[in-house]
């Protein structure tokens, strides 16, 4: 496994892989602090691609002024060991000044799907995500890129960017990996205190509640959201609800009636940790 800190190095690796017939090339964009969720993406890329690149880059442009950029975990040695153990061919670990050299003045903005949910509570977040992902796609030139379902809005926004800008990369979305009690794996789970960690499982509980209500015939999204909010209010006294919504899977616009596949999405803050989760909810087909 090679570790490249410069654009020239990672491009040379990809060019060499292609010359050796190792195509397609897959890329797994990450901010490091790798866990089993990230490794599931790497494993999927390993199964489908002949060469796998993982980026380890804590992107400053997707953090707000009061967010956790400086304290975000950076266990680089553990991350590199994990990448090697999972068969990664090359790690791209650039310094900030490589990705954002002095004088950089271009930002990629995706409207509509990036302006709801997390975009509403974290202004500018998806501009930072789209800019760094666009740069990464341009630098690596992979045929496929792997993202997790947990960051569902991110997958929708990135797919919109790729379609709108005719980027020749396939976006592969892999299932959310969860702890034994159902909590979605996240690097930010490490911020939780013992009581907060116990309460955080309420996020997935609220999503499962939404699924049950829809299966039982509840079609009014407002009723489902009200039940989810009440569950969270009871179960997370240490947390603050950011949003609870039922949205269209493609546009992320809120739905009124759940008569087609939809996505239930939640975000809750526990101190400095902001946790998100989502789950598809489908109305059973009507008989007759």
Q: For this structure, is 38 an active site residue?
A: yes
- What order do you get walking across the sheet with 273-281 strand by strand? 240-247, 262-270, 273-281
The one catalytic residue among 38, 93, 125, 231: 38
What letter does residue 187 receive in the DSSP assignment? G
Q: What would the two tokens of residue 180 be?
A: 């034994």
* Alpha carbon 237 to chain centroid, angstroms: 26
Under 8 Å between Cβ of 276 and 206: no
Catalogue the E-assigned strands of the chain. 2-4, 25-30, 51-56, 90-92, 144-148, 170-174, 240-247, 262-270, 273-281
CA distance 266 to 57: 26
Go through 37-50 and write b for each residue having 16 or more CB atoms within 10 A of its CB, e for each that does not. Answer: bbbbbbbbbbeebb
Residues 6+ apart with CB under 8 A from 13: 2, 4, 53, 89, 90
Helices 221-235 and 202-215: crossing angle in degrees, nearest 10, is 150
Closest CA to 110 of 59, 151, 161: 161
Closest CA to 137 of 161, 111, 118: 161
- 174 DSSP β-pair partners: 148
Q: What are phi and psi of 242, to 5 degrees?
A: -90, -55
Catalytic site residues? 38
């Amino acid at each position: 496994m090679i570790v490249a800190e410069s654009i020239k190095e990672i491009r040379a690796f990809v060019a060499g892989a292609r010359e050796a017939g190792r195509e397609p090339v897959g890329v797994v964009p990450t901010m490091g602090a790798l866990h089993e969720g990230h490794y599931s993406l790497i494993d999927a890329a390993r199964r489908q691609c002949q060469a796998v690149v993982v980026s380890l880059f804590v992107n400053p442009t997707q953090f707000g002024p009061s967010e956790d950029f400086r304290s975000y975990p950076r266990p680089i040695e553990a991350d590199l060991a994990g990448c090697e153990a999972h068969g990664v061919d090359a790690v791209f670990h650039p310094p900030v000044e490589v990705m954002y050299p002095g004088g950089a003045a271009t930002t990629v903005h995706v409207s509509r799907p990036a302006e709801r949910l997390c975009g509403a509570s974290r202004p500018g977040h998806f501009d930072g995500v789209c800019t760094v992902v666009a740069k990464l796609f341009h630098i690596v030139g992979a045929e496929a890129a792997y993202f997790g379902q947990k960051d569902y809005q991110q997958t929708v926004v990135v797919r919109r960017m790729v379609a709108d800008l005719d980027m020749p990369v396939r976006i592969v979305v892999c299932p959310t990996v969860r702890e034994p009690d159902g909590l979605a794996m996240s690097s930010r789970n490490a911020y939780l205190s013992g009581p907060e960690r116990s309460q955080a499982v309420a996020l997935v509980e609220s999503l499962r509640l939404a699924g049950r209500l829809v299966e039982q015939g509840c079609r009014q999204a407002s009723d489902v959201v009200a039940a989810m909010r009440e569950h969270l209010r009871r179960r997370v006294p240490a947390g603050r609800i950011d949003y609870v919504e039922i949205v269209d899977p493609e546009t992320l616009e809120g739905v009124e009636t759940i008569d087609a596949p939809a996505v239930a999405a939640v975000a809750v803050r526990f101190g400095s940790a902001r946790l998100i989760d989502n789950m598809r909810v489908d109305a059973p087909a009507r008989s007759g």
